[in-house]
Amino acid sequence: MVHTTIWASGQFSRLSKEGRLLYIGMITLGDDDGRLKGSAALIRSQIFPYDDDVKVADVARWLKEIEAQKLVVKYDVDGEEYFFHPKWEEYQQIREDRRRESHIPAPSFDFPPVSTIGQPSGNQTGSKTPLKISKDKKSKDNTNTLTSDNAFVAFWEKYPNKVGKKAAWKAWQKVDITPELIAKIMTALDAAKKSPQWSKDDGRYIPHPATWINGERWDDQIAPAQKKNSKYDNVGTSTRA
């Protein structure tokens, strides 16, 4: 849905008329996580299928306008380009029971978080000092700097119960994030997702992200899933009186 406040947006108003139309089209193309493929040729075919006078080069130029205003962010995964709407969660209300899983890969650790998109660089409101990671602890995308904000993006992508993002973000900002804690959080999440409590009843008992963060639940002792007894477990054994 295109929110009515878009017409009063300074970022939107600085686009050319063609750029505005393209951006609105990109909103309609976003999946439930606000992602879409980044090929200018593909986007041209989707938004301007009957406009023979619109060339791929035109779309590429308008895309740069939109990027410059930080209305979308381009990122790369395995050589493929994608776009992400940074304020998607702010304006698109999607019921969790109707949310469709994205088939587009998520941004990597060096992707700017939703909360800081469009803010001046260097002194971002609410962001913390970048965390330097030693060479043997670099993330898979080979970045050597990881911020608390970027780590939240990774946390949110991994957390299975995606409700209350703003509350989760506020809770996250209260945590003294370190590289060691980030690793601990991600490991704890992997273990929790395999636990009996989180697995049963289609995840009904998975806590809200803010609750999990506020309770520092990464320190929980996760009980391993119990192995179900098989009728063949006792085959070949016998008891004596």
pLDDT of 229: 56
Res 140 pLDDT > 60: no
**Could you give the angle at the alpha carbon of 190 between the alpha carbons of 187 and 196, nearest 5°?**
130
Query: What is the per-residue pLDDT for 131?
Result: 42
Q: What is the pLDDT of residue 241?
A: 43
For residue 80, list its beta bridge partners.
77
CA distances from 112 to 75, 84, 147, 172 (A): 10, 11, 9, 16
Span 9-15, average pLDDT: 93
Q: What is the pLDDT of residue 109?
A: 44
> How far from chain centre, in Å, is Cα 228?
35
Residue pair 162/99 in contact (Cβ under 8 Å)? The answer is: yes
Residue 179 has pLDDT above 50, yes or no: yes
Model pLDDT, residue 78 = 86
Look at residue 88 in the predicted model and tell me its pLDDT: 82
Nearest in space to 34 (alpha carbons), one of 82, 73, 85: 85
DSSP code of residue 235: T
What the block records as the tokens of 56 is 């791929």
CA distance 217 to 39: 41
pLDDT of residue 121: 36
Residue 159 has pLDDT above 80, yes or no: yes
**pLDDT for 91 beyond 80:** no
In this predicted structure, the answer to whether residue 161 has a pLDDT above a threshold of 60 is yes
Query: How sure is the predictor about 15, in pLDDT bands with cuts at 50, 70 and 90?
Result: very high
Q: How confident is the model at residue 53 (pLDDT cuts 50, 70, 90)?
A: very high
> Could you give phi then psi for residue 217, rounded to 5 degrees?
-70, -5
Section 49-56 average pLDDT: 96
What pLDDT, on a 0 to 100 scale, did the predictor assign at position 68?
A: 93
- 201 sits in the region (left: phi over 0; alpha: psi -120 to 50; else beta) called left
133 to 25, 141, 143, 179: CA distances (angstroms): 39, 13, 9, 7
pLDDT at 108: 64
Residue pair 158/186 in contact (Cβ under 8 Å)? The answer is yes
pLDDT at 25: 95
Domains of the chain: 1-107 (1.10.10.10), 126-227 (no CATH)
Strands laid side by side in the 80-84 sheet: 35-37, 80-84, 73-77
- The tens digit of pLDDT for each residue in 202-224 reads 778 899 998 999 999 999 887 66
Average pLDDT of every residue of the chain = 78
Which pLDDT value is given to residue 225?
A: 56
The phi, psi pair for 145, rounded to 5°, reads -135, 130
User: Taking residues 165-192, what's their average pLDDT?
Assistant: 87
Tens digit of each residue's pLDDT (9 = 90 or more) over 28-43? 999 988 899 999 999 9
Three-state DSSP at 145 gives strand
